[in-house]
Chain A
C-alpha cells in the first residue's frame, strides 16, 4: 500500500501531514512503515523525523561520452537529440549533461559507434530509521536540472510490502508524476486561499488523468475563505479533515518537531486518514 501526499501548491503542509501520518502509523505498526521523501529538490522530512543510522549512496544517470578517435563529425546525434544536449563539432561532440534525458538515442544512431554511456552523479539516496519507521530520501545536487530519475530511484528504494508514505514535490509536472507512480491513494493537502484553490483544481485533474483515488485535507482552515470546500464538494472529493491555524503548529514546524502531541486537530486529521486507509473500500 502506497499513500502519496501531494498539493499542487507548495507550502500547504504536505511534509507536516505526511511525517505526522507516517509517525502515527509506525507507532501502531512498528517496522512496517516507510516514509519516502520524494521532494528531492527540497527534501525536508528528515528535519522532522530525525532519522538515525543513516546510510547515503551517490545516485547516477547515464550520459553519452565520446570513444576516442571514432567521431567523423556527421552530426546525426545532434540532429536526433530532442533536448539539444549534444553538439557535433569537427571530429568530436560536446555534451551538455544537464540537458541530457538519457534516452540513449545518440548512441544508437551514431554510424561510427563513437559514443558510449558513462554514469554521471546527480544526487544522493539516503535511508535510515527513526523509532520503528524507515526513512528514505533523495537529494538532488545543487545545479542539476532533472530530478525525475532520482524521484523514481528513491521510490524504488523503499522496501517492498511496507506501508509507504510518499511526500511529493509541489507542482503538477514531471517530478510529481514520478512521485505519484504506483500510488494507491493520494492525499491532497490544501489551504483555503485562491492560490490553494487554483492549484488544488490542477492536482485533482492530475489525479483524474492518472486514475488515482484522492481525498483532501484542509490546512490553516480558518485563514481564507470557503471556496475550497465548495470546490471539493462539487468535485466529489472527500474532505477528510480540517486543521486550523495554530501557533503551536507553527512553532513546532519552526523547531523541527511533529506536533502530534500539541495539536489535537492534527492528531485527529491523522487518525481519520489512518481509518480511511484501513477501511476496505477506501475513498472513491
Chain B
C-alpha cells in the first residue's frame, strides 16, 4: 500500500477537495483525515460510519478542595499557568493543564492532587463508495493532536493492509508543527498543494524544507494557478531550482465552492478543472509507483 500525504503549509489551498477527488479517482483507497483540529474530509466522502470511539490521551490534574491547605506549592511549580487561586485554595484550570504531573510531585499533602485520564477526542471509520475513511474530531481546546494523528494513521494502515487497498491517502493538517510531523513520517510521497500568492509561496518553501528535514520525497500541485500567472511561474522556478517536480496545475473555478456547498467534488466542475485534477492524480500515482 502506497502512502500519499497531501499538505499545504498554508490553510485553504484545496487539500481536502483534492484528497477527496484522489480517493474517487483511485477507485480503491483508504483515506485518513489528519487535520483533526478542523476535520473536513468526511463532508466530501459520504458513507456509513461505525460507532464513535473514544480517544484518551494524557491526564488532567484535579485538586481536592477538602484537602488543599492553600500552600501554593503547585502554583509555583506549574509551568503552564494551570493552577489558579480561588479564595484561599487552589484549583486546576483544566484547559491549561497539560497533565505533566509536577503539581502532584510538589504537593505536601498526600492524595490532594489526583489525575484523571483525558478524553482528547473521538474517531470513526466510514465505509465510502471507493473504500474507507478514518476520521476524527479533537475535543475543543485539546492539546493532543499529534498523538491522535499517529493513532489514526496506525488504524488506517491496519485497515488498508487488511483490505488490500492500493493507496493510503492522508489529508494533512496546515502548518509545520507537531500534527504535521505525525502525519508526514514514513509516507511514500508528500504532495504540497499551493496557490499563487506570496503566502502560498512562503509557506510552500517551509514545507519543502520540512520534507527535506524528514527525508520524504515531495512534489507540488499549484491550485488556482491562473489567478496570478506570474506568481505561478515564480513557484515553478523555485521548485525547478530545488529539483522538486510540479505534478499538476489546476485552474481557478468559481464553480468549485458552489459544488462543495452541495457536498460535490471538483471533478464535477468545468471540464478543464476536472481534466486538470485527473491529470494531477495520474502524475501523482505514477510518481508514487516510481518510488
Contact = CB atoms under 8 A, between A and B. Distances in A.
- Among B106, B228, B263, the most chain A Cβ lie within 10 Å of the Cβ of B228
B175 interface: yes
A256 interface: yes
Interface stretch (B154-162, B253-261, B273-281): B253-261
B146 interface: yes
Interface string B35-66: 00111100100000000000000110000000
Dominant secondary structure of chain B at its interface with chain A = loop
Contacts of B80: 103
Contacts of A8: 37-38
A235 to B, nearest CB: 14
A256 B202 CA distance: 11
Given A173-B37, A199-B38, A223 B199 contact: no
A210 B141 contact: yes
A198 B38 contact: yes
A220 interface: yes
Nearest to B260: A193
Contacts of B102: 103-105, 108
B122 interface: no
Contact of A101 (B98, B252, B258): B98
Interface in A60-118: 80, 82, 98, 101-105, 108-109
A205 interface: yes
Contact of A245 (B12, B174, B254): B254
B211 to A, nearest CB: 10
B95 A209 contact: yes
Contacts of A143: 210, 213-214
B261 A194 contact: yes
Contacts of A142: 176, 206, 209-210, 213
Given A146-B178, A169-B175, A170-B174, A194 B98 contact: no
B245 interface: no
Interface in B179-229: 181, 196-199, 202-203, 206, 209-210, 213-214, 227-228
B198 A12 contact: no
A74 to B, nearest CB: 15
A82 B105 CA distance: 13
Given A10-B11, A42-B176, A194-B263, A206 B141 contact: yes
A47 B198 CA distance: 7
Contacts of B262: 225
Contacts of B178: 145-147
B16 interface: yes
B228 A251 contact: yes
Given A8-B37, A11-B13, A173-B37, 16 more contacts: A8-B38, A41-B9, A42-B176, A103-B101, A105-B102, A142-B210, A145-B178, A170-B37, A172-B140, A177-B143, A195-B43, A199-B40, A225-B258, A251-B227, A254-B196, A254-B197
